[in-house]
């Protein structure tokens, strides 16, 4: 790519300040290593990341929109006590199988639980909170079980 076509943005990715040179047409998903792309059209949620603590489909989010934003991916959440506990709850309840959807589901769950924490969460609340994420392997019950068992 021609260097003239690149622009520079400043953002924080997983707590680290970054200055990125990128194409204005590049999606955020294209620049994040731990993001898994499923459908590339915002239907599956596999590429879910948090931008300023809001869950977004990074395949639809232009990277230039990340200027000045804080981006969190599942990779960066490995040391976050809350998210790592969510990850462990998923594992303990068998809510991880092929792994394609798991990072997006973990990030969507992180955002969902941060916004709505009533005791106990209903199945309807959980389904609504994860409505933008698809999973072919688990049939969702194990995911629902994991979230219900999260403390």
CATH of the domain at 47: 3.10.20.30
The mean pLDDT value of the chain amounts to 89
Cut 0.75: pTM above it: yes
CATH of the domain at 105: 1.10.150.120
Paired residues of 16 in beta bridges: 13
Q: Give the pLDDT confidence of 19-46 residue by residue, as tens digits.
A: 999 999 999 999 888 899 999 999 999 9
Q: For residues 21 and 94, give the distance between their C-alpha atoms in angstroms, rounded to a whole number.
A: 40
Q: Going by C-beta distance under 8 Å and a sequence separation of 6 or more, which residues neighbour residue 78?
A: 84, 87
Model pLDDT, residue 118? 65
Q: Give the pLDDT confidence of 3-14 residue by residue, as tens digits.
A: 568 999 999 999
Within this chain, do residues 61 and 16 fall inside the same structural domain, yes or no?
yes
Could you say which of 57, 72, 87 is where a domain stops?
72
Could you say which of 51, 72, 93 is where a domain stops?
72
Please state, in angstroms and as integers, the Cα–Cα distance from residue 143 to each residue in 19, 25, 44, following that order: 36, 34, 15
Q: How confident is the model at residue 78 (pLDDT cuts 50, 70, 90)?
A: confident
Number of domains present in the structure of the chain: 2
Domain with 133 in it: 76-149
H or E element at residue 21: strand 16-22
Within this chain, do residues 51 and 87 fall inside the same structural domain, yes or no?
no
Q: Give the pLDDT confidence of 99-133 residue by residue, as tens digits.
A: 889 999 999 999 998 887 667 788 999 999 999 99
Within this chain, do residues 51 and 84 fall inside the same structural domain, yes or no?
no
Could you say which of 47, 72, 97 is where a domain stops?
72
């Amino acid at each position: 790519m021609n260097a003239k076509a690149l622009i520079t943005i400043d953002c924080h990715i997983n707590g680290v300040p970054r200055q990125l040179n990128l194409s204005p047409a590049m999606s955020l998903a294209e620049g994040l290593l731990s993001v898994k792309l499923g459908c590339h059209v915002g239907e599956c949620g596999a590429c879910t990341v948090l931008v300023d603590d809001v869950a977004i489909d990074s395949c639809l989010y232009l990277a230039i929109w990340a200027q000045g934003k804080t981006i969190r991916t599942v990779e960066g959440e490995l040391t976050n006590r809350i998210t790592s506990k969510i990850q462990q709850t998923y594992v303990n309840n068998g809510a991880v199988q092929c792994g394609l959807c798991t990072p997006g589901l973990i990030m969507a769950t992180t955002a969902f639980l941060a916004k709505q924490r009533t005791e106990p969460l209903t199945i309807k609340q959980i389904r609504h909170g994860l409505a933008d994420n698809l999973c072919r392997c688990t049939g969702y019950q194990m995911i629902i079980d994991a979230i219900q068992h999260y403390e």
